Amino acid sequence: MLSKNIFIYGSLIIVGFLCGYFSTQWYFFEIDYKISIVEVVSLIVTAGLGLYIAGIIQHRQSYSRVEKSLLIDELKKIRSDLDIIYSSVNRNVIPLDDTVFKFKLISGNVSTFGDLLNICNSSVKIDINEFHLKINTLKKIVTSVPFRNGCFILNQFEIGNFLNEFRKIIQHIYSLEIKINRLK
């Protein structure tokens, strides 16, 4: 990475010098060929500071981008598993084993998301216990009903409760994604 940056910045400096050289060869420019030592030092210091600042900003942006991607990818996993459960509830064919397994995955992904938030230098603070509570509320709606032939059977009232809680969780996930994307 460092050698790539050195190559890029070195190439830009060489192109700058070539442009300067060729511009002095054209006669319609009136250029004084005297350059004081102060101007040379000023040029070198300015170029050096520009390269240094650009390198720091680029490093910080790439570091921040990696953290944002990790956090948002974890939220996408949670959302994907929730969408599968939503689809099952929508069809009112909710396989017992698959649904319980998906809820375990979701719970694990929420914990992983919380761990990533603690590791990352993000200013997004959430209560993971509240997130788990919302997931558990959704889980109780689905898994506390009777099952038959290996599938949970929900009535219209339970489906309505599920949809209401599902919307709340999805809104929570969207608000987290927005907070994460706003991080600098």
Tens-place pLDDT, residues 129-169: 888 899 999 999 998 888 888 889 888 999 999 999 999 99
High-pLDDT (> 70) share of the chain, % = 85
Kindly list the distances between the CA atom of residue 137 and the CA atoms of 131, 144, 146, 164, in Å, as whole numbers in the listed order. 10, 10, 17, 11
The winner for highest mean pLDDT among 35-39, 52-56, 57-61, 103-107 is 103-107
d(CA 100, CA 84): 12
pLDDT at 75: 92
- pTM to 2 decimals? 0.66
Q: What is the pLDDT of residues 60-111, one digit of tens each?
A: 666 677 888 888 999 999 999 999 999 999 888 889 899 999 999 999 999 9
Give the mean pLDDT of 40-45.
Answer: 82
Q: How many domains does the chain divide into?
A: 1
In this prediction, residue 26 has a pLDDT band, given cuts at 50, 70 and 90, of low
pLDDT at 81: 94
Angle, vertex CA 46, rays to CA 40 and CA 50, nearest 5: 145
Q: Which domain holds residue 93?
A: 2-182
